[in-house]
Structure 1
């Protein structure tokens, strides 16, 4: 098979031939039809994010594919089935606190690193080896446009955070980082889950206008000034009532003060979910006031990725049309143009902008790829 390989950090991806993967017990081999290229992929491949990848490695974070081969312990999935491949791999020998790796992308701790060495390569390849439990059946519509459905890699993250925060229909949600790639997804997913209104703070007026144009009056935009007290008051005013849940998806470059201003809009007994990257590369910590947390009985929860069941719920939202992928702007690239795809993703990381890589020759011939 052919694959795009990261030979070393800071080097371009090299498209070359590798041996076809072979499924072991509890695994499957999948033909990769489409995979999402995240906007910060260039930072990962350049070494700027200090991700614990071990080159040479085939990167790539899950995707849409068809099963080529699957082990005998699978009782429902069959070769030829169209599936979503979740990159969140968990160890099988600890049900309470499993080690986690993001196949072809990242890992957590020494146990996660061991998982990453076993399932080393990701989805920037014609085929990849995947744990059986990481495969989820997709509707036929996903086969008609796998590049668009590959955007599940983005939507699954905030969906996991909103599940962790217990968002219920009619509640008011505030999305910190709403004008970014993951943040704008949180707005769409929150509304699909039934949020009554969503407060969307940001500095980019065009991005704020895009959100309000797409979703209407349930979205309440706030133009941030950088002054914590001013921004805090503006977000509370925009909510026009209590904020039930705050989810933060700001990148590592954002200041802790921005997260704090958003988090402290939450009501008494409210919830805050932290999924962004603030502080990952050094700099100011979040530093929420102890008395405020205690006296207001606020729940603060960190959430990395999402539980397995989130994949099922997200596919259900998409299949029902509650979460609509049609308005998303998708640009697809063949495997040979993997470096072009990475550059395009870096330059097009705004709301509902997706970059897809189509590694399989089947996908490249079946779907038109803009030049």
Structure 2
């Protein structure tokens, strides 16, 4: 198969022929119809993830068609149109038994623990636990954006942040996950302040429903507190940097909730958490890591009803030959880029 491969962290990314994957007994191989270009893929290429073994094929946001099925798979057949969360859960460890497959103790992740979806085919484990059937009306390109950024934002807003109608939500970083968070928060009735240094990203955030859009260079914490009458109820750091994490916490009103969505690899420095504010204001500092396959129906039902429109956030469809340039430059062009030609 054709795949995008790198052999050193931060090194050249080349498209070449590599061996086709085979399904594990409980897994499947999927013909990739589309795969998103995500900041997490950039982290993998940059060497920020200890699970990545070289040489490596990145890619973890995917949608496609089942091409081969392992002997122990019961619920899926060749030809089924599917997606999957980027965390493939085992289904049997304590978190999985509690319904929290997104923090599975034995999780695998395409594009991290094994070769991913910047390729014509990708292997996925524990198919009966992790595959999600795609509605006919949902395009493959849109479905590919769900597996990481959109599903992660959906759970961060609705499940972890527990955003309620009328609450103020601060979204720091309006890349793919941040724009998704804006859209989801607006859909559940929240009022959104979105922050990003890029004028194009701020424009998209406003078009997606943000009530205020702020430049991150303008001392946005104080301005966000002023605009929201004393601070936001929920802050989401959707970029993942020490500065944006701390800023989200400082923008909270008493008893507010900070949700860390963007990755914070130690190589980029440790965040300073102002614990004096956490105590004095009784703040909650929470993490959000994807969304289990079992939680997809609520999101898909809102998409089917037209309350959520992830397709509006897909701004570029690329070929696999364009993927290297897009991965290196991730975050520089607003919206979600999806590879649809292999």
TMscore range, shorter length: 0.7 to 0.9
Q: Once the 2 structures are TM-superposed, how far is the Cα of residue 235 of structure 1 from its aligned partner?
A: 0.5
Across the two proteins, how many residue pairs are aligned to each other?
331
Q: Which runs of 5+ in 2 are unaligned?
A: 96-102
Rg larger in 1 or in 2? 1
How do residues 217-366 of structure 1 correspond to structure 2 at under 5 angstroms? Answer: 219-225=211-217, 227=219, 231-240=220-229, 243-252=232-241, 255-256=242-243, 258-278=244-264, 280-283=266-269, 285-290=271-276, 292-335=277-320, 337=321, 340-347=322-329, 349=331, 353-358=335-340
1:23 and 2:23 correspond: yes
CA distance, structure 1, for counterparts of residue 124 and residue 68 of structure 2: 10
Contact 1:345–1:354 under 8 Å retained in 2: no
- In the superposition, the TM-score normalised over structure 2's length comes to 0.84
SS of the residue corresponding to residue 117 of structure 2 reads coil
CA distance, structure 1, for counterparts of residue 266 and residue 180 of structure 2: 22
Contact 1:207–1:350 under 8 Å retained in 2: no
Residue of structure 2 in register with 1:99 after alignment: 105
Contact 1:185–1:351 under 8 Å retained in 2: no
Deviations 1:161-207 (A, max 9, x none): 22212123332211122x33322221112222x13201113333443
SS of the residue corresponding to residue 259 of structure 1 reads helix
Change (3 A) 1:233 1:87: closer
Change (3 A) 1:40 1:299: closer
Residue of structure 2 in register with 1:66 after alignment: 65
Change (3 A) 1:285 1:21: closer
Contact 1:44–1:50 under 8 Å retained in 2: yes
Q: Once the 2 structures are TM-superposed, how far is the Cα of residue 220 of structure 1 from its aligned partner?
A: 2.0
Deviations 1:191-249 (A, max 9, x none): 22x1320111333344323322342xx5222344454xxx3331012224662211112
Q: Which runs of 5+ in 1 are unaligned?
A: 107-115, 361-371
Deviations 1:2-34 (A, max 9, x none): 333323334433434344333232211211111
SS of the residue corresponding to residue 150 of structure 2 reads helix
1:139 and 2:135 correspond: yes
CA distance, structure 2, for counterparts of residue 72 and residue 79 of structure 1: 12
Change (3 A) 1:306 1:200: same
Deviations 1:35-83 (A, max 9, x none): 1122564553243x35531012222114011112334554443321111
Q: Once the 2 structures are TM-superposed, how far is the Cα of residue 260 of structure 1 from its aligned partner?
A: 2.5
Change (3 A) 1:67 1:294: same
Deviations 1:301-352 (A, max 9, x none): 12222333343333333222222134334333333x1xx3231344462575
Deviations 1:115-172 (A, max 9, x none): x2xxx22112222221202210011123xx4223312132122223222121233322
Residue of structure 2 in register with 1:186 after alignment: 181
RMSD between superposed Cα atoms in Å: 2.8
1:130 to 124, 144, 147: 124
2:150 to 133, 137, 155: 155
Contact 1:3–1:125 under 8 Å retained in 2: yes
Residue of structure 2 in register with 1:169 after alignment: 165
Change (3 A) 1:189 1:214: closer
Residue of structure 2 in register with 1:35 after alignment: 35
Q: Once the 2 structures are TM-superposed, how far is the Cα of residue 100 of structure 1 from its aligned partner?
A: 5.2
Deviates more, 1:37-46 or 1:162-171: 37-46
CA distance, structure 2, for counterparts of residue 313 and residue 350 of structure 1: 31
Change (3 A) 1:102 1:195: farther
Residue of structure 1 in register with 2:83 after alignment: 84
CA distance, structure 2, for counterparts of residue 40 and residue 124 of structure 1: 13
Change (3 A) 1:23 1:355: same
